[in-house]
Amino acid sequence: MPTATANEAADAATAAPAEVARPQGPERVILAFGDSLYAGYGLGRGQSLPDAIQARLRQGGINATVVNAGVSGDTTAAGRERLAFVLDQQKRVPDLVMLGLGGNDVLRQISPAETRANMTAMLDDLKRRRLPVLLTGMRAPPNLGPDYVAAFDAIWPDLAKRDGDQLYPFILDGVIGNPALMQADRVHPNVQGVNRIADRLAPLVEQALPPAR
């Protein structure tokens, strides 16, 4: 049996990977507006959740650009203060806004009524601008008591139902509580956790995208 030459072996080693769908059509811009769970706290460059979602959409043939507007430490109040400025600074109107805030509210035990008011105000602004929204929800830990948990956890389903927005009920679903998927702080997902979330969330992002303009 003939033996491969060194050049042939090198060619085989550098062969192109299996083909994936090439992004096609007009560029679809998605604004990911949120806190550290979007910003990519504790992760390397290109490892954030918006990066992972963009990669999956492009692998699926969608010419998507996901703009990361996550700021670590942002509460819903801080997000409310900066939302209009961020929207006005975009190069063009986004096709979809992913809105993911609330984690820092629960860490600080901010009143659910205040969180609801801030989320409502942001959604009202997005509605005035006629921007489709995908909400990524947050949930409170049970140690904060049943009254707080019930009031807090209801915010995202209520608002999604009110406006008819797409909802991913809990951004850390299937990740939090699993040490293999979380950073040492037990609050933020590691790379594997981000990929788990992106696998579940990217199809909803695709569904939420309106027809190309």
Q: Domain segments of the chain: what residues?
A: 32-208
28 against 17, higher pLDDT: 28
Please, which pLDDT band fits residue 24 given cuts at 50, 70 and 90? Answer: confident
- Write the class of the CATH domain 32-208: alpha beta
- Model confidence over 132-182: pLDDT tens digits? 999 999 999 999 999 999 999 999 999 999 999 999 999 999 999 999 999
Please, which pLDDT band fits residue 131 given cuts at 50, 70 and 90? Answer: very high
Mean per-residue pLDDT of the chain = 91
Where do we find the tokens 């008819």? 164
Active site residues: 36, 185, 188
Residues 6+ apart with CB under 8 A from 70: 32, 33, 34, 35, 36, 37, 38, 39, 40, 48, 50, 100
What pTM value is reported for the model?
Answer: 0.88
pLDDT value of position 21: 64
Name residue 28's beta-bridge partners: 64
| CB hemisphere CA count around 78 (13 angstroms) | 18
pLDDT value of position 25: 84
Name residue 159's beta-bridge partners: none
Please count the other Cβ atoms lying within 10 Å of the Cβ belonging to residue 12: 9
Lowest average pLDDT, out of 11-15, 27-31, 60-64, goes to 11-15
